[in-house]
Structure 1
Amino acid sequence: MTTTVLTIGERLRDWRRKRRLSQLDLACEAEISTRHLSFLETGRAAPSRDMVLRLAEGLGVPLRERNALLLAAGFAPVFPERSLDDPGLDAARIAVEAVLAAHMPFPALVIDRRWTILASNASANLLMAGVDPRLLEPPVNVLRLSLHPDGVAPRIANLAELRGHTLSRLRRELADNGDAGLADLIRELAAYPGGETYPRGGEGMIAVPLRLQTPLGELSFLTTTMTFSGALDVTVSELTIETFLPANPATAAALRSVAAG
């Protein structure tokens, strides 16, 4: 097998097409001429490091891929990638821990770009109760845990609706970043049983809920995501905090009663 190595020009062109931008659109955003951009994409001109970073910013390229663009252009990466327990990321870790604690008694998870759970608060254990222990062996993928037939899936009252929403979201992410690992995950999840329907709005509906059968009765959650704005570290830029908010008063009361006693 042979591996095709894309040039910096080919990589820039691919990202521009992913973003559905014309050369004129990107040239205006980066404040360069379309002629110069055309030369960069065809290899007739070589970009400087600053030019690579300027174009990457205009294209909204993730930090991990900005490093890859720099390498393709012959420059060293400029965005570090460290473990979350690295002392240099103390501020980020403390912020994450503060959000997890503040969200109690409602569940919250911290995940990376591949949906691996990095941290969670105590209330998140309620979501994972009763799953096959093998699915809880690190690294734990929250989507596999949720949709696997031996995971949370049998307790999700609106499984087909949630699957449809989740897989649509992942396919949009894949179209944006072309991550091969994400493509593999989508194929795996799509092969699980449970169907795939697409939610329709209705009276009182503001978002697709997670309706979960528990010993406390059916609990209903809405989810929100939180990320670090302006991150300059690859790891931090790929962190997402998923918070679960009660979708009705009964769910809120049930969780508060568990926390109180």
Structure 2
Amino acid sequence: MDLQTPPFGSLLRSWRQRRRLSQLDLALEADVSARHLSFIETGRATPSRAMVLRLAEALAVPAREQNQLLIAAGLAPAYSERAMDDPGMSAVRAGVDRVLNAYNPFPCLAVDRSWNVLQVNAGAAVMLDGVAAHLLAQPNALRISLHPDGLAPRIRNLAQWRHHVIGRLRREAAVSGSAQTAALLAEIESYPGGEDETADLGGVVVPLELVTTGGQLLRFLSTVTTFGTALDLTAAELSIEAFLPADGSTAEALR
């Protein structure tokens, strides 16, 4: 057990405060007594495995951070973590391949929780064309999208797209409590381009309007696919982002 792991009560209190809940609020949500919850937070009571998981569920703690809570309570983690090339991940790999290939010729990519690109389909080439080599060496979808050496100079509605992406990343940082996500957010916010939260408020979704290196305008709508019942951290934190044509001319150009 890592000696640097904070006591369980301190971790629990930080998650409760992050969710802006009082001890009574959390006690009611988790169906435990406020007195017992107070004893757990102060270290006067030791929580069982079932209690740790019940409190984590009430606080909507992500899977990776649930493991941290369990370890802090002196218990074994609930979720394993395998590499994508592990034999036990064969069904996940097959599922990702199937989804990526099904979206061709439209761009589609698989990313982890930190938006590192794990895999792309052939259709993604139109989005990677012209991106600086240093961004492709260890590709991160948000850096590629918003860095001045990436797609940013060719995104016609950059301020609007930045507002959408940064807002999503802010929510992820708040929900996860991840220092890595917070660091990525600070980096992305430092890129030039501004934010426009008012543009096209009457629309259906926020489009990505990308000008290709050949000068053609492509308009995309993005969708996200995740594994809904994952028990492994790699699978739980993996998402597949597809960019579908927002108009007939984009669909025709990609085909």
- Tell me whether the two structures share a fold, i.e. TM-score over 0.5: yes
Q: Which runs of 5+ in 1 are unaligned?
A: 257-261
Tell me the alpha carbon deviations over residues 134-188 of structure 1, each in whole angstroms, 9 at most, x when there is no partner.
2111x21111111111111111111111112211221121121221112221222
Shift in Å at residue 40 of structure 1? 0.9
The 1:101/1:165 distance shift into structure 2, 3 A limit, reads same
Tell me the alpha carbon deviations over residues 25-60 of structure 1, each in whole angstroms, 9 at most, x when there is no partner.
332332221221121112111101221112112222
How many residue pairs end up in the alignment?
252
Tell me how far apart the structure 1 counterparts of residues 36 and 220 of structure 2 sit (CA, whole Å).
51
Partner of 2:209, secondary structure, is: strand
Partner of 1:32, secondary structure, is: coil
> Could you say which residue in structure 1 is the equivalent of 2:185?
186
Contact kept? 1:16, 1:26, Cα under 8 Å: yes
Shift in Å at residue 218 of structure 1? 0.3
2:75 counterpart of 1:75: yes
Query: What letter corresponds to residue 223 of structure 1 in structure 2?
Result: S
Partner of 1:188, secondary structure, is: helix
Shift in Å at residue 131 of structure 1? 1.2
Tell me how far apart the structure 2 counterparts of residues 43 and 234 of structure 1 sit (CA, whole Å).
29
> Could you say which residue in structure 2 is the equivalent of 1:150?
149
> Could you say which residue in structure 1 is the equivalent of 2:126?
126
Tell me how far apart the structure 1 counterparts of residues 158 and 199 of structure 2 sit (CA, whole Å).
15
Superposition map of 1:16-55 within 5 A: 16-55=16-55
Partner of 2:221, secondary structure, is: strand
Contact kept? 1:110, 1:120, Cα under 8 Å: yes
- Identity score, percent: 55
> Could you say which residue in structure 2 is the equivalent of 1:176?
175
Contact kept? 2:222, 2:244, Cα under 8 Å: yes
Shift in Å at residue 11 of structure 1? 1.0
Tell me how far apart the structure 2 counterparts of residues 60 and 120 of structure 1 sit (CA, whole Å).
30
> Could you say which residue in structure 2 is the equivalent of 1:226?
225
Shift in Å at residue 249 of structure 1? 1.3
Query: What letter corresponds to residue 66 of structure 2 in structure 1?
Result: R
Query: What letter corresponds to residue 210 of structure 2 in structure 1?
Result: L
> Could you say which residue in structure 1 is the equivalent of 2:88?
88
Shift in Å at residue 202 of structure 1? 4.3
Q: Which runs of 5+ in 2 are unaligned?
A: none
Tell me the alpha carbon deviations over residues 224-251 of structure 1, each in whole angstroms, 9 at most, x when there is no partner.
1111112111111100110111111111
Query: What letter corresponds to residue 251 of structure 1 in structure 2?
Result: T
Tell me the alpha carbon deviations over residues 46-96 of structure 1, each in whole angstroms, 9 at most, x when there is no partner.
101221112112222111111111110011212100111111111111111
Tell me how far apart the structure 1 counterparts of residues 61 and 102 of structure 2 sit (CA, whole Å).
32
Contact kept? 1:216, 1:254, Cα under 8 Å: no
Partner of 1:223, secondary structure, is: strand
Partner of 1:109, secondary structure, is: strand
> Could you say which residue in structure 2 is the equivalent of 1:109?
109
Contact kept? 1:107, 1:123, Cα under 8 Å: yes
2:220 counterpart of 1:237: no
Partner of 1:224, secondary structure, is: strand
Partner of 1:45, secondary structure, is: coil
The 1:249/1:212 distance shift into structure 2, 3 A limit, reads same
Is the deviation greater in 17-26 or in 114-123? Answer: 17-26
> Could you say which residue in structure 1 is the equivalent of 2:204?
206
Partner of 2:219, secondary structure, is: strand
Query: What letter corresponds to residue 21 of structure 1 in structure 2?
Result: L
> Could you say which residue in structure 1 is the equivalent of 2:250?
251
Contact kept? 2:210, 2:217, Cα under 8 Å: yes
Tell me how far apart the structure 1 counterparts of residues 55 and 75 of structure 2 sit (CA, whole Å).
15
2:52 counterpart of 1:57: no
Shift in Å at residue 5 of structure 1? 4.8
Q: Which portions of structure 1, spanning 4 or more consecutive aligned residues, are displaced by more than 3 angstroms?
A: 199-203
Shift in Å at residue 18 of structure 1? 2.1
